[in-house]
Amino acid sequence: MGAIGLSGFRPELADDLSRYLKNSGAGEERFDVMVKGARCAGCIAKIERGVKAVPGVRDGRLNLSTGKLVVTGRNLRPETILRYVRDLGYDAQPFDAGEMLDAGDREGRFLLRCLAVAGFATVFTMGLTDAIWYGGGDLGGEARRNFFWLAGAVAVPATLYSAQPFFRAAWRSIRAARAGMDVPISLALLLSLGMSIYQTATGGAHTYFDASVMLTFLLLIGRYLDHRLRDRARGAARHLLAMQTLLVRRRAPDGTIQTVPARELEPGDMVMLASGDRAPVNGVLADRGTELDLSLVTGEVLPQAVAQGAVIQAGSVVTGMPVMLRTTARVEDSLIADLARLLEAGQQVRNRYVRLADRAARAYVPGVFILSVLVMAGWLIAGAPLASAVTSAITILIITCPCALGLAVPAVQVVATGRLFRKGVFVKSGDALERLAQVEKVVFDKTGTLTMGNPVLCEGEQIAPEILQRAARLARASRHPLASALAEAAGPGEAAGDVREVAGSGLERGVGANLERLGNADWCGADNPGAVQLWYRRGTEAPVGFCFEDRIRPDAKALVRDLEAKGLLVEMLTGDVPLIAARIAGEAGITDWHAAVRPEQKARHLEALAKSKIRTLMVGDGLNDAAALAMAHVSIAPGTAADISQKAADMILRGGDLMPIAEAITVARKARRLVLENFALALAYNLTAIPLAALGMVTPLIAAATMAGSSLLVTLNALRLMGGGKS
Amino acid sequence: MTGIALLIASALLVGLGALGCLLWALSTGQYDDLEGDAQRILIDPPEDQ
């Protein structure tokens, strides 16, 4: 749907944005801007230097990871700063202060601190205890005991501090009566520390101080990777939110115009919509008729004329005359009620999916506990003293601690999402990859997904270049999609200055014999319009027609062929008329297609597929696809999609290409295989270690070595996903 | 034995020092934008003339 669909109202120089300024102390002000599109060193340099050139600005610093630009200085003019950044070619919006304090950031920092403490303690404790295991014979009992006490003095507080994330999660899952990996992890850590203190105090030979900190360290790596992944997804969501903090011009009863966030609108407010603006809420045209681009609402590409008093839905874009909208609903009530309900239902479907790691935990955790109880019972029956029976049971818990399991999934997912990111697919959550790997059928939307989503002049070579150029001079003065398409076809050139826009009809300039008109058939006096949508006429000459069509994306056909080669079923659903749908489906090589499908029918279709146990990938971009995207097993939206569709989708394509979809499926399938391999590796390690532990033959040295070894193995296995995929 | 005690004590000090440095770097936001910092080294300083 191009730039029009994505952009809301753009705050201009005249708008007052001072409410976004914050006091940063020392008489300075601070203005946070969300910048979209910055990816490289060049962008940083360009934006920061550009912003510093704005009067009043002392410093500007862009965070490339989050896209947040912090500008500080005195007497800042937010609108000037925004305009500067936009003039440099980046989309920019004021960053909402309400979202500043972000729990995710703080949690990430806390995890890193834990990781640092655990890492330090691991190295230090190992240095002490390894000396005992290797050269233990030379050390006297007293020296050994001192070494243990020293190791414990570092390991116990370090473990208690840095394993907090696991303790908290374990407590949460105990209270919710759920089996999670965190319960056996926490128990193993506490038990091994307790047993080590007991052993040291009684002069025993085996302590697990080093094993417990190392365990914490390795598990924290997995936890941190997982957090980074989720935080990046959250960051993208936040980014989207900030970019769509829609600002509107509201006319107060006294006639003054204020710039306010759309969510502050109340029913009955008057909102000014200029050409190119999107209606933020449902409303009624108050002052006159105009033309609307309804592509986000219905999927229809061509603008439609509407009269004064017409009811307008949120998401419609004004392409004709500026109008005044009397709002009839608040932002949250402005989505079609059905759509909102369907979106919610879809989210519930999504929540029912159980991640692979959780499924593994459900089977694993009870098994481990039963095993250690059995081992203890076995030793007691065999006549062993209670102390050694308990020791064996604890050893089982320590040795089976799902360390490698904790790394198995996040390691693979981090590598997979990183690879997909470079290919232009943004994955919003780790389990989306798991779901993508299971897909059996792919359902495409047509307009804006398989096609470019904007009209292109067809049979342009049959029109005399001279006429095309003259028509383009008129067309360049308008933002109407057809006029833009005409100007695009004519190539660069100058726009006529004296163009008058006539609502519902078209453009004109000049008078008498020099009167030039560009617009609909009636207005230009064309008798037999047929399927031709735009006409040009000069004076009394015969009108010339321009016809437009929506072009298919160049790689759509290759993608469909690739998906079918992967054994997937391909289907196309569109709200468009059968004639056009048939043409596009034919060009893309899709045999299974349905035309004239309404938005709620799309969602219902996806629901029916889910009921018949067909796991479906939905690819769509319009507001009318949002419910279907949410309802599908997994969904992908192009980067040009409507905000709400990007929010509903699991993955977002960054460029205009479709081929990354095939790549995403390939990577998802590989990732799933690697995760399962990793589970098998971790399990194999545990299966060999358990009998040794049950027999009381596992020394702390073996425990530590196998633990680190299996984690390393699992990580290396995950890295295999990095290579390959040369294309 | 005194040698070992000294070594262990100094190892502990050095380790804690490194840990302190890392925690300080974390709290001053040096890990907030790893991607941006990696790119920034490519920016040429403005030419002063």
CB contact under 8 A, B42 and A41: yes
How many whole angstroms separate alpha carbon A216 and alpha carbon A311? 60
Strand order in the sheet with A534-538: A451-458, A544-552, A534-538, A516-519, A506-509, A500-502
Q: Comparing A228-232, A342-346, A684-688, B20-24, which segment has the lowest mean pLDDT?
A: A342-346
Residues facing A571 on adjacent strands: A443
B16 neighbourhood in chain A, CB within 8 Å: 120
pLDDT tens profile A658-675: 899 999 999 999 999 998
pLDDT band at A27 (very low <50, low <70, confident <90, very high): confident
| Chain mean position to CA A549 | 31
Q: Does A140 touch chain B (CB under 8 A)?
A: no
Instruction: State chain A's maximal CA–CA distance in angstroms.
Output: 115
Torsion on CA atoms A559, A565, A569, A572, rounded to nearest 10: 20
Q: What percent of chain A has pLDDT over 70?
A: 85
Q: What is the pLDDT of residue A667?
A: 92
pLDDT band at A225 (very low <50, low <70, confident <90, very high): confident
Phi-psi region of A177 (alpha: psi -120 to 50; beta: other; left: phi over 0): left
Q: Does A113 touch chain B (CB under 8 A)?
A: yes
Best of B32, B34, B48 to disrupt the A interface (most A CBs within 10 Å) is: B32
Q: What percent of chain B has pLDDT over 90?
A: 10
Phi-psi region of A314 (alpha: psi -120 to 50; beta: other; left: phi over 0): beta
Q: What is the pLDDT of residue A334?
A: 64
User: pTM for the full model?
Assistant: 0.71
Would the pLDDT of A104 be above 70? no
Q: What is the pLDDT of residue A673?
A: 92
Chain B nearest-CA distance from A98, in A, is 20
CB contact under 8 A, B19 and A116: yes
Would the pLDDT of A623 be above 80? no
Would the pLDDT of A717 be above 70? yes
CB-closest option in A41, A65, A127 to B43: A41
Would the pLDDT of A218 be above 60? yes
Q: What is the pLDDT of residue A725?
A: 46
Residues facing A23 on adjacent strands: A29
Q: If you compute the radius of gyration of chain A from its CA atoms, what whole number of angstroms results?
A: 32
DSSP string, A545-566: EEEEEEEEPTTHHHHHHHHHHT
Q: How far is CA A494 from CA A456, A467, A474, in A?
A: 20, 15, 9
More confident residue, A677 or A180: A677
CB contact under 8 A, B26 and A109: yes
For residue A129 the two structure tokens come to 């205890």
Q: What is the pLDDT of residue A98?
A: 45
The counts of H helices and E strands in chain B are 2, 0
Beta-carbon contacts below 8 Å between A and B = 53
Would the pLDDT of A243 be above 70? no
Best of A35, A124, A220 to disrupt the B interface (most B CBs within 10 Å) is: A124
How many CB atoms within 10 Å of residue A410? Answer: 24
How many whole angstroms separate alpha carbon A314 and alpha carbon A279? 5
Q: What is the pLDDT of residue A689?
A: 80
Best of B6, B23, B30 to disrupt the A interface (most A CBs within 10 Å) is: B23
Q: Does A161 touch chain B (CB under 8 A)?
A: no
Strands (E), A389-522: 425-427, 441-445, 451-458, 500-502, 506-509, 516-519
CB-closest option in B19, B31, B46 to A117: B19
Taking residues A161-169, report their average pLDDT.
92
Going by C-alpha positions, the residue among A476, A522, A518 that lies closest to residue A496 is A476
CB contact under 8 A, B34 and A150: no
How many CB atoms within 10 Å of residue A131? Answer: 18
Q: What is the pLDDT of residue A298?
A: 63
Catalytic residue of the set A15, A210, A226, A445: A445
More confident residue, A359 or A221: A221
How many CB atoms within 10 Å of residue A24? Answer: 14
A445 catalytic? Reply is yes
pLDDT tens profile A357-405: 777 777 777 888 888 889 889 989 988 888 788 878 887 877 777 667 7
Would the pLDDT of A48 be above 70? yes
Taking residues A470-478, report their average pLDDT.
81
CB contact under 8 A, A116 and B33: no
Q: Does A120 touch chain B (CB under 8 A)?
A: yes
Phi-psi region of A380 (alpha: psi -120 to 50; beta: other; left: phi over 0): alpha
pLDDT tens profile B8-17: 889 889 989 9
pLDDT band at A351 (very low <50, low <70, confident <90, very high): low
CB contact under 8 A, A62 and B36: yes
Q: What is the pLDDT of residue A103?
A: 62
Q: Comparing A97-111, A229-243, A530-544, which segment has the lowest mean pLDDT?
A: A229-243
Would the pLDDT of A560 be above 90? yes
For residue A340 the two structure tokens come to 């909102």
CB contact under 8 A, A116 and B26: yes
Q: Comparing A186-195, A614-623, A643-652, which segment has the lowest mean pLDDT?
A: A643-652
pLDDT tens profile A315-338: 778 877 788 889 888 776 665 545
Helix axes A337-351, A599-611, angle to 10 degrees: 20
Sole residue written with tokens 């912003």 = A51
pLDDT band at B1 (very low <50, low <70, confident <90, very high): low
Tell me how long chain B is: 49
pLDDT tens profile A251-301: 888 877 777 777 778 888 888 887 777 787 888 988 888 888 776 666 566
Q: What percent of chain A has pLDDT over 90?
A: 11
A127 neighbourhood in chain B, CB within 8 Å: 11
Would the pLDDT of A457 be above 50? yes
B10 neighbourhood in chain A, CB within 8 Å: none
